[in-house]
Structure 1
């Protein structure tokens, strides 16, 4: 039988390395991997792709991403390109002026480092949008910036108590009559006080956002992903209807795993509902066999859960150890029951206490249930106590890394390191240590928190410097990993946590989810990885993206 598709004339990244120069595809599967002998499968109707020295590799998979909110934000007030406070405020002003019909100004993606202390004020928004409510989550989506009109509609005053899972930032004591008044930013669970009032997207909006995001992700070589929040949370729309619609009508060309949201205000009583949702939401290329458990917040706002207290600006210990959103005493029970029902657990764990709580829960599940193939994974892993690094391999817990964050930049240097102190700051994003300990690495972007481009993430993983950080100091050099290891995390590693075992590797019998780059990055300096672009993307042997110059 002749092949439908034949790649030849360039290096092919296989599990053994760049050991092949030709690949044949028949239907949706790879049927041969080798050299000139593969050319014997060329028939009169075979499509031949000349690699011309470019690298062919498995399609990238993002193990932690939020495509529908990202797609929605791209159609709203998108602040991701603003670098300064003035640029951010000017972008809000321009968007509001261009959209007088919008009842609310929504969107987001602003950078905390653009504002003193990472917390812009309501007065900045009042000056450009005085008459309509404004709700703008920041880049990491653990905090939101609001104006006075939004606070008024939500009934938030100086007398409003902080919710148990969040914080209303307030004007400092000694600031006169405004002391204690809401200052304009809401952290974690406090976001919901305003977020719940924003107009929901329509089903058509969500579907359009998904398809827009999918096109963008395919252009970056991404063929599969794990949506890290399928449910409703802090005003974000539940994307499940969009996935089901796209899966049923065939417009979902990617392979997607949905992480069902664990409502942290409830307990084990929600598990039967999760079982029902798993059955109801799995169709075609969309499966929902994972549960997302958000254990803590983020270090920049002091809500990541730490074993020891945060420091203040003077380097002295505070009383704050961060926030545990799920009772650590109950977490092992929840995880054990989910594991027994065949659910994968996907943990948001930034601080070292959250990481330890997650590993303790996985250990409890292993002791109660015995070995399983549920493949739990911990995302983010900003601060990992050295004692916990070897536990990943021992427990079969995958380290789900977001490499773009592991570099010196203002949010790290100004809003994080001073409040961790030098010892804990050296425990951040320990990719190298995890790999050396035998842990499996998967990789993701957390888009729209940061760029979804895998090649940018790979650049930081191997260099520990941002793509635009030429001349910047290397962030914890011992934690750099090799190019092969970084590519493996974005392919086979993420395929592993996605339970897509017949993808993530170029080998006979595997799904033909493939990417052609515009060069072979192994032949270039590591400092040039981020300059690599995707030329062609295939899912199941079908082209879903081609660069104009490809």
Structure 2
């Protein structure tokens, strides 16, 4: 492969390439293979960076381990993330009294793994007095809904700007080391803040596509008013809006933050302004409201104008075939996270605990979305799940519910070209490696490769760039290691292995 000024200019047999470009700098990959770089279509860079640089609770196996981690943490503000009580023996988080005892007067903010509820110490609550009178406040347990937004804002404001920027840089470097060249930042007033988003958009470490999850335009170069503009919450925190109550909490059906009228009004505003709009939507009641909102918007601006904007929906976990077909007709992009199914799917996972087995095993139907014609873009929702694109490809192909997965090739395309298409780049070149395409790629250590032949048999292939059906790493083998990540000809990550 030959690259000039950040663009692929030639691809083919090595001897021909050397003859055509006699003065080129030559990098011998020593058997490593090259593929288009990944795009993570849904991240929260600062929160994910704070997980790398702060208190990581994803491995806690009990409330006692969480409290021990808080006791050992330093600083006036302890920012932690990742606890999941559904994996613990007693299936309950610590009480506020228990947290205060462990905190010893420190301000503590500990977000649940889905980031839709959090534990907060009394010292932190004192910085957010409005939380005590807000929806979702608990005098002794996790905070959710508006109460969580108040306390999260207080915790966020207590983080020094230099620590925030360091967390962002740590996350972007980490993403680059995983073969990712572009991330879609899903910011918003209840998530990060405009100053946080401005800092992130100013970086040149990776390609950052910014979304603002609010109804009003902002004075920043964002791609659209989309991402985490919440129609509902999350299943783990029992705030995803359901048509029927939660199986393990029959007194609630979650929270619907936007109705169909509000959804339609936002879509009309974005369409007329030439912006990409979108929403966070998980539960079936939320999906129903979104579909009705699209129908209402189409009646105002017309279906072609609506489809031209490629509005996007994040997560889209509980959806029927009929709803998928209606959304596909409006040109909707589905930004989905396969590792959700790996972590919480199946008959014994958190989804089944919250919803019962029948509903809980029907979530994240990627094959249904693809068959309907929605554009699929894969992401991590970091820090909710790990930044691990090969694992996401595997999870999409090895769905825990038979019939809901997609092929490895479709999953890989959704995690590469699909991410660029989701951000409005659909030139037929970006996200591929062919002459004229941006030289955005990753180099991976050689390993066992496989590809499905037309007769469905598995064949082994060499990493020959001339192959019309290039190989992928074997799904059941170890993930390859990223040796180098390149964005438009510029190296964003180098493991120091290649000459």
Which whole-Å deviations, capped at 9, do the CAs of 1:444-472 have from their partners, x for residues lacking one? 101011101211211211223xxxxxxxx
Separation in 2, partners of 1:410, 1:31: 44
Separation in 1, partners of 2:264, 2:315: 20
CA RMSD of aligned residues (A): 2.6
1:41 to 2, 20, 34: 20
Are the structure 2 counterparts of residues 86 and 548 from structure 1 closer, same or farther at C-alpha, using a change threshold of 3 Å? farther
Report what 1:168 is aligned to: 137
Report the Cα offset of residue 31 of structure 1. 1.0
Are the structure 2 counterparts of residues 34 and 77 from structure 1 closer, same or farther at C-alpha, using a change threshold of 3 Å? same
Question: Structure 2: which 5+ runs fail to align?
Answer: 451-459, 461-472
Report the Cα offset of residue 414 of structure 1. 5.3
**1:508 has 2:486 as partner:** no
Separation in 2, partners of 1:206, 1:296: 27
Contact 2:6 2:438 in 1 (8 A): yes
Report what 2:405 is aligned to: 480
Are the structure 2 counterparts of residues 86 and 119 from structure 1 closer, same or farther at C-alpha, using a change threshold of 3 Å? closer
Report what 2:208 is aligned to: 256
Give the length in aligned residue pairs: 467
Report what 2:297 is aligned to: 365
Report what 1:177 is aligned to: none
Report what 2:260 is aligned to: 328
Separation in 1, partners of 2:54, 2:213: 24
Separation in 2, partners of 1:390, 1:254: 34
Report what 2:151 is aligned to: 194
Which whole-Å deviations, capped at 9, do the CAs of 1:52-79 have from their partners, x for residues lacking one? 4433111111111111222234333232
Which whole-Å deviations, capped at 9, do the CAs of 1:343-384 have from their partners, x for residues lacking one? 112321111222232233334334433324321121112221
Report the Cα offset of residue 411 of structure 1. 10
Separation in 1, partners of 2:379, 2:346: 19
**1:281 has 2:220 as partner:** yes
Secondary structure, counterpart of 2:26 in structure 1: strand
Secondary structure, counterpart of 1:50 in structure 2: coil
TM value normalised by structure 2: 0.86
Report the Cα offset of residue 186 of structure 1. 0.4
Q: How does 1:76-225 map to 2 (within 5 A)?
A: 76-95=54-73, 99=74, 102-115=75-88, 116-151=90-125, 154-155=128-129, 160-163=132-135, 167-169=136-138, 182-198=139-155, 199-225=157-183
Contact 1:203 1:242 in 2 (8 A): no
Report the Cα offset of residue 208 of structure 1. 2.3
Report the Cα offset of residue 114 of structure 1. 4.4
Report what 1:304 is aligned to: 240
Report the Cα offset of residue 151 of structure 1. 4.1
Secondary structure, counterpart of 1:184 in structure 2: coil
Separation in 1, partners of 2:347, 2:163: 35
Report what 1:527 is aligned to: 476
Q: How does 1:435-514 map to 2 (within 5 A)?
A: 435-464=370-399, 475-501=400-426, 502-514=429-441
Separation in 2, partners of 1:31, 1:492: 19
Report the Cα offset of residue 118 of structure 1. 4.8
Report the Cα offset of residue 120 of structure 1. 2.8
Separation in 1, partners of 2:347, 2:260: 27
Contact 1:463 1:527 in 2 (8 A): no
Between 404-413 and 424-433, report the one with greater CA deviation: 404-413
Secondary structure, counterpart of 1:485 in structure 2: helix
Contact 1:203 1:241 in 2 (8 A): no
Contact 2:71 2:104 in 1 (8 A): no
Secondary structure, counterpart of 1:396 in structure 2: coil
Separation in 1, partners of 2:124, 2:161: 25
**1:400 has 2:369 as partner:** no
Separation in 1, partners of 2:248, 2:315: 23
Separation in 1, partners of 2:102, 2:442: 45
Contact 1:77 1:105 in 2 (8 A): yes
Are the structure 2 counterparts of residues 415 and 238 from structure 1 closer, same or farther at C-alpha, using a change threshold of 3 Å? farther
Are the structure 2 counterparts of residues 376 and 426 from structure 1 closer, same or farther at C-alpha, using a change threshold of 3 Å? same
Which whole-Å deviations, capped at 9, do the CAs of 1:187-228 have from their partners, x for residues lacking one? 132113433333433433333222221111111111111101
Report the Cα offset of residue 25 of structure 1. 0.9
